């Protein structure tokens, strides 16, 4: 299947800084794709290049199967909805008037406004001034603007930025159902892996302008599996039992640290420790933070 977004060797250099450095994206149609990276990684810059807001120093962008050029840029934008460095909008106008401004610019009939207000659940606040909206409402208004005209592709830059946990959950529910509800492919950025775990099927990870990983979320989760901490009453009995099974264990602060193991192997190891009479008290899984995953991704990459 033709990817909805494809980039080749996409670069953007600001002075000496390579903000985006050889990024290759492949976003399949009909999915939610999470574009993840810490602050300053180059997410917004990449998204702006996809929309032609920033001119790439080098590389190519293909949207919806066509290489983007000056000539077909408007045609491609017509099928794309975006929210970059949110929230935007005109605070002195009402929510509805804001949507009318965007509908006019996109050449979309007015009645589409009712549809998008319904989707983002702002129909009740349509006559209020956007200046009085909460941050979460402004973010949802931004999504509504992007949804006008039923685009095939949505490019959303950190739509959960600044929201409280409830707001984040709402946004997540909104986005995860977007492909089935509107048929759009969703390309959404975040600096939190955890946020993406519950909505993205595909993920791309970027740091210092370089792609570290791209693929299905499950493949990434293999990288994110961290060490286990096993607390026992008598560590001196546990260590030989583990070594006998070939599981390297370290004793740290009164507990054993085990490396990432497949579930079956882990169960067997714990069984062996219990059989040795060490007295199993607690087993905790440690999931890696995004930074640690970055580290492990960078290291595996250098080994390759």
Ligand X SMILES: Nc1ncnc2c1ncn2[C@@H]1O[C@H](COP(=O)(O)OP(=O)(O)OP(=O)(O)O)[C@@H](O)[C@H]1O
Written as one string, the DSSP assignment of 48-87 is HHHTTSS--SEEEEEETTEE--TTTHHHHHHTEEEE-SS-
Q: Contacts with Mg ion: how many residues (CB under 5 A)?
A: 1
Position 7 contacts ligand X (CB under 6 A) = no
**Minimum distance, C-beta of residue 40 to ligand X, in the bound complex (Å):** 4
Position 39 contacts ligand X (CB under 6 A) = yes
Which region among 11-19, 192-200, 212-220, 241-249 touches ligand X (by CB under 6 A)?
Answer: 11-19
The whole-angstrom separation of Cα 49 and Cα 194 is 26
What end-to-end distance do the CA atoms of the chain give, in Å? 29
Phi and psi torsions of 16, nearest 5°: -90, -15
Position 55 contacts another protein (CB under 8 A) = yes
The whole-angstrom separation of Cα 239 and Cα 264 is 19
Residues in the chain: 304
Token digits of residue 97: 């008037």
Which of helix, strand or coil describes residue 285? strand
Position 44 contacts Mg ion (CB under 5 A) = yes
Q: Which is nearer to ligand X, 37 or 95 (CB)?
A: 37
Tell me which residue of 140, 134, 135 sits closest to 175, measured CA to CA. 140
The contact mask relative to ligand X for 166-195 (x = CB under 6 A, - = no) is -------------------------x----
Q: Contacts with another protein: how many residues (CB under 8 A)?
A: 32
- The continuous run of DSSP H or E covering 12 comes out as strand 5-14
**Minimum distance, C-beta of residue 17 to ligand X, in the bound complex (Å):** 6
Q: Which is nearer to ligand X, 53 or 105 (CB)?
A: 53
Q: Which is nearer to ligand X, 34 or 42 (CB)?
A: 42
**Minimum distance, C-beta of residue 138 to Mg ion, in the bound complex (Å):** 17
| Among another protein, Mg ion, ligand X, none, partner that 165 touches (CB below 5 to 8 angstroms by kind) | none
Phi and psi torsions of 92, nearest 5°: -80, -5
Q: Quick one: which of 18, 26, 78, 288 contacts another protein (CB under 8 A)?
A: 78
Position 72 contacts another protein (CB under 8 A) = no
Tell me which residue of 234, 259, 237, 262 sits closest to 249, measured CA to CA. 259
Which region among 42-50, 170-178, 239-247, 268-276 touches Mg ion (by CB under 5 A)?
Answer: 42-50
The whole-angstrom separation of Cα 183 and Cα 128 is 30
Q: Quick one: which of 24, 67, 90, 110 contacts another protein (CB under 8 A)?
A: 90
Which region among 14-22, 69-77, 118-126, 279-287 touches ligand X (by CB under 6 A)?
Answer: 14-22
State how far the alpha carbon of 236 is from the alpha carbons of 11, 228, 252, in Å. 54, 18, 12
Residue ranges in contact with ligand X by CB under 6 A: 14, 17, 19, 37, 39-45, 191
Would you tell me which residues interact with another protein (CB under 8 A)?
48, 51-55, 70, 74-75, 77-78, 80, 82, 84-93, 97, 100-102, 104-107, 145
């Amino acid at each position: 299947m033709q990817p909805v977004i494809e980039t080749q060797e996409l670069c953007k250099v600001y002075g000496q800084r390579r903000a985006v450095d050889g990024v290759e994206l492949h976003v399949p149609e009909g999915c939610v794709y999470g574009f993840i990276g810490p602050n300053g990684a180059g997410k917004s810059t990449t998204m702006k290049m996809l929309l032609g807001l920033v001119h790439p120093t080098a590389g190519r962008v293909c949207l919806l199967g066509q290489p983007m050029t000056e000539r077909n840029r408007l045609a491609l934008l017509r099928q794309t909805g975006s929210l970059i460095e949110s929230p935007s909008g005109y605070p002195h106008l009402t929510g509805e008037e804001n949507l009318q401004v965007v509908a006019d610019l996109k050449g979309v009939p007015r009645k589409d406004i009712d549809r998008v207000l319904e989707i983002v659940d702002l129909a009740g606040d349509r006559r209020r001034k956007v200046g009085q909206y909460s941050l979460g409402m402004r973010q949802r208004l931004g999504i509504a603007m992007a949804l006008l005209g039923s685009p095939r592709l949505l490019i959303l830059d950190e739509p959960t930025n600044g929201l409280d946990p409830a707001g984040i959950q709402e946004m997540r529910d909104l986005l995860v159902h977007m492909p089935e509800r509107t048929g759009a492919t969703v390309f959404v950025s975040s600096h939190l892996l955890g946020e993406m775990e519950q909505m993205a099927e595909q993920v791309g990870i970027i740091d210092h302008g370089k792609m570290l990983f791209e693929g299905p979320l499950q493949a990434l989760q293999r990288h994110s599996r961290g060490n286990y901490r096993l607390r026992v009453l008598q560590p001196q009995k546990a260590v030989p039992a583990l070594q006998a099974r070939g599981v390297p264990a370290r004793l740290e602060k009164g507990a054993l640290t085990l490396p990432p193991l497949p579930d079956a192997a882990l169960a067997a190891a714990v069984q062996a420790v219990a059989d040795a009479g060490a007295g199993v008290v607690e087993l905790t899984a440690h999931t890696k933070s995004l930074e640690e995953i970055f580290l492990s991704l960078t290291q595996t990459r250098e080994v390759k």
